[in-house]
Chain A
């Protein structure tokens, strides 16, 4: 989650500084842009998105954006994702302690039907399916160079050769299931594993993956 501050130039400079000090920080992790506190118009938001894209920061959703500033071609609007602030850009003033919202019970909210997305085709190299609202189920394979980014769990009834990112709006309970694991990258709630970190005996197997604290666990499905 990124919460930019005005003036944007200063904020971007601090972001660059942070990214420079921890190389590859934003790489691989899709990020939610929080603009609730930001008084900007659509053009400025577009420019901000372009600046972030130049820095290879992948924005998967925008939170707190008034409808008047959102536009076509922008990442989807998100609400109530309740993501833990995992990327904190150092504030110009002394940083306020980032509240870890883990123990706080969410306020009573009207219960919404959980959303799910079904993809009936193979997902091809270069395509990305982004669905912050819930689970994604793919009936088919996910190619090398393709990616699935879900707010909930990812289910793949085929071979996963590309990337699967589950719980991407801050849902540590999300899981990844696939009929055959050949993945390039797996992530749950921002914690990720590349192909090289995966246990070789899981390759080619039906596998489920979940998050245990800060590490991704996996087991074969039989």
Chain B
């Protein structure tokens, strides 16, 4: 049965689009048919991050308005034949996404895919609430700083009240994806610690993605981080996160603390 995942945050620029593409590709690499849907109408990015910008003909708004059929708008990835993109429109405004239209598209997608990853726009307005509306699972992307954490908290409140699942009295499964984590700054105390963020948000941790140049490099070549260089630190973090999302138990690593057990013990002693 299809699983609908919303990647959301409230705050802008925290890494939703990067994470949607990376998780989508990682799930597709497992051989599961995956579509990544861009809900950021007017400010689409996902096509660039996935290297499909020159192949966009129709978009989600065309499908909703009946100008195109869903299969015409879906773009299959050139590297992975289990990965698809449903782009957003860059020229329309946010109001062209209607609740009924989105519901129809989601129902159609559910018949064809194992995973539907919805990349949410920033904010708590229409675009963001429509992106979360039909989700089974939410990935809350958060940076280790106060404003991002508070916005995530706000979004969690909306996930628990404004979604279809919430209205049916069911529980939305929520996971925290901590991104742009900088081990050096965390050490210096310039950033919130993992434990602090977890304590404030009190939802389970899906993964910790380090701040890394590899993310920029990947987006420059138009490839999801997990496809660009699957051995890079952020790729490894996203691959593990995707496995957890799929229900596997994978031990958690905090970036920068990958010293062996011995090193850890010595490190503690020295401190």
Contact = CB atoms under 8 A, between A and B. Distances in A.
Of residues A121, A125, A140, A141, which shows the largest number of chain B Cβ atoms within 10 Å of its Cβ?
A125
B160 A121 contact: yes
B202 A125 contact: no
Interface residues on B, range: 10 to 19
Q: Interface majority SS on B: helix, strand, loop or mixed? A: helix
B202 A126 contact: no
Nearest to A144: B150
A125 B150 contact: yes
B160 A144 contact: no
B244 interface: no
B267 interface: no
B202 A145 contact: no
B160 A125 contact: no
B200 A124 contact: no
Contacts of B200: 141, 143, 159, 161
A145 B160 contact: no
Interface string B8-40: 000000000000000000000000000000000
A73 to B, nearest CB: 15
A176 to B, nearest CB: 20
B247 interface: no
A127 B124 CA distance: 13
Interface residues on A, range: 10 to 19
A122 B154 CA distance: 11
B235 to A, nearest CB: 32
Contacts of A124: 153-154, 156-157, 160
A36 B107 CA distance: 51
B138 to A, nearest CB: 13
Of residues B157, B160, B202, which shows the largest number of chain A Cβ atoms within 10 Å of its Cβ?
B157
A159 B201 CA distance: 11
B160 A126 contact: no
A143 B154 CA distance: 9
Interface string B145-168: 000001101101110100000000
A144 B202 contact: no
A122 B202 contact: yes
Contacts of A159: 199-200
Nearest to A180: B199
A1 to B, nearest CB: 30
Contacts of A141: 200, 202
A143 B150 contact: yes
A140 B180 CA distance: 28
Given A143-B150, A144-B150, A145-B150, A127 B202 contact: no
Contacts of B154: 124-126, 145
Nearest to B124: A126
Nearest to A143: B153
Contacts of A144: 150, 153
A121 B201 CA distance: 11
Given A141-B200, A144-B153, A146-B157, 6 more contacts: A124-B153, A126-B154, A141-B202, A143-B150, A143-B200, A161-B200
11 contacts: A124-B153, A124-B157, A125-B150, A126-B153, A126-B154, A126-B157, A126-B158, A143-B153, A144-B153, A145-B153, A146-B153
Interface of B: 150-151, 153-154, 156-158, 160, 199-200, 202
